[in-house]
Structure 1
Amino acid sequence: MDDEYAKLIRRMNPPRVVIDNDASADATVIQVDSVNKPGILLEVVQVLTDMNLTVRKAYISSDGGWFMDVFNVVDQNGNKIRDKEVIDYIQTRLENGANYAPSLQETVDALPTEEHTSIELTGTDRPGLLSEVCAVLAALQCNVVNAEIWTHNTRAAAVVYVTDDSTGYAITDPNRLSTIRELLCNVLKRNNDVRMPKTTVSSPGVTNRGRRLHQIMLADRDYERVERSGMGRVDDKSSRPHVSMVNIERDYTVITMRSKDRPKLLFDIVCTLTDMGYVVFHGMVSSGRTEAHQEFYIRHIDGRPIRSDAERDRLIQCLEAAIERRASEGLELELCTEDRVGLLSDITRVFRENSLCIRRAEISTIGGKAK
């Protein structure tokens, strides 16, 4: 009965969104007022992230039954949002939920559809791994239409959307799906790996791809620090994010985070807090030219602050990992060309043959073009 009453209250009080270009000299100010509900902060931040907006400042308050957030945002070029169509689109999505997308599809990450088959992979990272995975998919006549690959702390995870090369639609034959899963697992296996690789082949869900990658790597325990032997990297502790927390009496745990600033940083942190069962009641976000500072007042979903040193240490490790997973390292290459079957396999083979390791990759196809 309580759930039905809460739904009625939300229907009677839809979110109110105000987008103002005059309130700040160097950013567009977006204010969201709404009845509070579980996961609402993540929904709002996901919309801003999908639109490739950078949050320079934010003030978060969701204590009690009401949610109020103020975000100072800029576009990819560091400018205010001036396009009225984009402003109207952002307002519509914020008022209707993160998964509602009436138009401007090309501006957001390609959403999974029933025309794609989703492949999720996790295993130990090694030089040439992505090339081997792509070669297997090409040999099995699977065309990669969208994909995102992350590596962190010797672990690798990927979410890949493929179609049948001959039909252009999702792969539905159970025997073929089983073969794909088996061959990809063989590629991911290492004799000395204490953690078994995982491969899932299914119809894609509606979960945001970035959030799904966080969930996969969190489940794979990539936050547990290990020696990075043979990976060509030195684990520089000075470059790690700084995360600390303290309890305020019995009310909240206060988390303070300092790290290099980058796009989608706030989304990555809120994803991890939400998936680990924590709720943000108050918060402040501020980013300078290179460093970002964030402070959140949180409780576990059961209403209590952090209760033990073990819980505190695990949350710190998980937040550090969330900040590091998407961090850019090394040389970035952007390639846009005509799409064709096997293109990704050819590209990744060139990297492997030149002794280059791929740390992160984003692949998309729109209108016959691969990027």
Structure 2
Amino acid sequence: MHYWSPSLDVDHEFEKLVNRMHPPRVTIDHITDKTSTLIKVDSANKRGSLLEVVQVLTDLNLLIKRAYISSDGGWFMDVFHVTDQYGNKLSENNVADRIQQSLGPRGCSFRSLRGSVGVQHSSENTTIELTGRDRPGLLSEIFAVLTDLKCNVVGSEIWTHNSRMASIVYITDDESGLPIDNPDRLAKIKHLLLSVLKGDLDRRGAQTAVSVESTHTQRRLHQLMYADRDYDTDEYDIVSDEPGGHKPVVTVENCVEKDYTVVNLRCVDRPKLLFDTVCTLTDMQYVVFHATIIAEGHEALQEFYIRHTDGCPISSEAERQRVIHCLEAAVKRRVSKGLRLELCGEDRVGLLSDVTRIFRENGLSVTRAEVTTRGSTAVNTFYVIDSSGNQVKSETIEAVRNAIGESVLKVNEDEALTCSTSSRQRQTGGFSLGNLFRNRSERFLYNLGLIRSCSEVA
């Protein structure tokens, strides 16, 4: 049965009935393990159960040190050894209730993430989803368009990988502070953003569509990048490993005796790693029947016993290679490349347009970003590299800090020193690739009629 078959709604209603009859049961064990808290989840088995549980644990900022997963048959049983983000056992007594409440109402939450790219609404803001080819200055162009269209960005997350970009941007009307729901205005926003995304370099093309469901931001980013085939490479893509040269190692073999495909992943451990890999297996229409996760040191080991949703193990070399490439992409998407800059200050309309313009004018390219608004305060994190792909020079950092304001921009000084030393060794005179892209971006925005001069955008 195809994942989006006509019988999906009937199956979904039946699974909701089963879930009401046999709701998830969550138990917490603080005694068995001296260094971590055990979270045990038992429930009726349904497609997506593992992703739901891992997503809830990830949203609670819990680190999964070990996990033992079994969902073969009609029952789903998981055991997770978790700590808080500081490596300590959990101290909150209500964590079981919080997990159980999160699992109960969600049902098959991943099914609501239909479509690819578009605009949707919530009670507080309008959500814009974007995918396209990454290039220096792209983020600056996007925020400049939104500012010109009287949109206030209240939150955003941007990922880049293999020369592709995916972003989810939450906006409100800058005058009323309410979501934007006027169809003509939304159509104009999408049209102009699509023009920016396509530019003159996107050979694969950007996409736009309208979605009516709410989403989980990072879950949706995985879907957008997977749909955009960021796991593919061509002569235009720049492929890089994790920091330090540690490339994820993925093996895929069939277990003939049990009729499973066994997937093994070994890579540097980091927060949310299991969430990222389970998202990808789910998007590829695989079901995890058994799994063992070990992440107690610098390295993480993950072993999955999977079948396709049609009940078959992997049957071809091409499919095996695709699983390998997609899991490698899942590991790398969230890896932050570049120098971390933290911006904290009074929020205002156009702030992100100004900040990213300053980045562009100083030859910086954003590889990842997290934008949040807490009350009247903007709390933003950017990872930046030189537009030519090199690390950032110390004089560039100082220029950016002077333009933005040292009181609101924080830089990791150890990283800055390393970047400065490396860049001086590679420094050459004359031609600046950053200026080339910057001028191209300015001309493009001029053609759209959105700016008079980059130096005048305020």
Question: What is the TM-score with the length of structure 1 in the denominator?
Answer: 0.89
Q: Which residue matches 1:106?
A: none
Q: Distance in 1 between matches of 2:69 and 2:236?
A: 38
Q: Which residue matches 1:239?
A: 246
Q: Which amino acid aligns with 2:251?
A: S
Contact 1:181/1:201 (8 A) holds in 2: no
State the 1:7 CA deviation: 4.8
Q: How does 1:62-211 map to 2 (within 5 A)?
A: 62-86=71-95, 88-97=97-106, 113-200=122-209, 205-211=213-219
Contact 1:27/1:72 (8 A) holds in 2: yes
Aligned residues: percent identity?
A: 58
Contact 1:155/1:222 (8 A) holds in 2: yes
State the 1:121 CA deviation: 0.8
Match of 2:366, SS state, is: coil
Contact 1:56/1:285 (8 A) holds in 2: yes
Contact 1:153/1:223 (8 A) holds in 2: yes
Q: Which amino acid aligns with 1:267?
A: F
Over 3 Å counting, the alpha-carbon distance change for 1:71 and 1:368 in structure 2 is same
Q: Which amino acid aligns with 1:294?
A: Q
Q: Distance in 1 between matches of 2:208 and 2:236?
A: 24
Q: Which amino acid aligns with 1:239?
A: H
Q: Which has the higher contact order (CA 8 A, sep 6+)?
A: 1
Contact 2:287/2:307 (8 A) holds in 1: yes
Q: Which residue matches 2:20?
A: 11
State the 1:122 CA deviation: 0.9
Structure 2: 5+ residue runs without aligned partners?
1-9, 110-119, 380-458
Contact 1:119/1:201 (8 A) holds in 2: no
Q: Which residue matches 1:362?
A: 370
Q: Which residue matches 1:265?
A: 273
Match of 1:266, SS state, is: helix
Contact 1:149/1:159 (8 A) holds in 2: yes
Match of 1:324, SS state, is: helix
Contact 1:163/1:169 (8 A) holds in 2: yes
Q: Distance in 2 between matches of 1:337 and 1:228?
A: 38
State the 1:25 CA deviation: 1.3
State the 1:119 CA deviation: 0.9
Q: Which residue matches 2:445?
A: none
Q: Distance in 2 between matches of 1:201 and 1:164?
A: 19
State the 1:211 CA deviation: 1.3
Q: Distance in 2 between matches of 1:87 and 1:349?
A: 45
Q: Distance in 2 between matches of 1:347 and 1:66?
A: 51
Q: Distance in 1 between matches of 2:182 and 2:167?
A: 22
State the 1:87 CA deviation: 5.0
The answer to whether the aligner puts 1:302 opposite 2:310 as a matched pair is yes
Question: What is the TM-score with the length of structure 2 in the denominator?
Answer: 0.73
RMSD: 2.4
Contact 2:35/2:89 (8 A) holds in 1: yes
Deviates more, 1:188-197 or 1:127-136: 188-197
Contact 1:46/1:98 (8 A) holds in 2: no
Question: Which whole-Å deviations, capped at 9, do the CAs of 1:313-344 have from their partners, x for residues lacking one?
Answer: 11111111111101122222233322211111
Q: How many correspondences in the alignment?
A: 357
Over 3 Å counting, the alpha-carbon distance change for 1:253 and 1:274 in structure 2 is same
Contact 1:19/1:28 (8 A) holds in 2: yes
Deviates more, 1:62-71 or 1:286-295: 286-295
Deviates more, 1:327-336 or 1:33-42: 327-336
Q: Which residue matches 2:331?
A: 323
The answer to whether the aligner puts 1:45 opposite 2:50 as a matched pair is no
Match of 1:336, SS state, is: strand
Q: Distance in 1 between matches of 2:12 and 2:151?
A: 44
Match of 1:60, SS state, is: strand
Q: Which residue matches 1:103?
A: none
Q: Which amino acid aligns with 1:189?
A: K
Question: Which whole-Å deviations, capped at 9, do the CAs of 1:329-360 have from their partners, x for residues lacking one?
Answer: 22222333222111111221222222222111
Q: Which residue matches 1:287?
A: 295
Q: Distance in 2 between matches of 1:143 and 1:76?
A: 32
More helix by share: 2
Q: Which residue matches 2:349?
A: 341
State the 1:150 CA deviation: 0.4
Q: Which amino acid aligns with 1:272?
A: T
Q: Which amino acid aligns with 1:269?
A: T
State the 1:86 CA deviation: 4.6
Over 3 Å counting, the alpha-carbon distance change for 1:174 and 1:246 in structure 2 is same
Q: Distance in 1 between matches of 2:30 and 2:154?
A: 37
Q: Which residue matches 1:107?
A: none
Question: Which whole-Å deviations, capped at 9, do the CAs of 1:195-222 have from their partners, x for residues lacking one?
Answer: 112244665x322111111111111111
Question: Which whole-Å deviations, capped at 9, do the CAs of 1:167-205 have from their partners, x for residues lacking one?
Answer: 1111122221121112112211232432112244665x3
Q: Which amino acid aligns with 1:363?
A: V
Match of 2:340, SS state, is: coil
State the 1:123 CA deviation: 0.9
Q: Which residue matches 2:224?
A: 216
Q: Distance in 2 between matches of 1:227 and 1:287?
A: 35
Q: Which residue matches 2:39?
A: 30
The structure with the larger Rg is 2
Match of 2:72, SS state, is: coil
Q: Which amino acid aligns with 2:292?
A: M
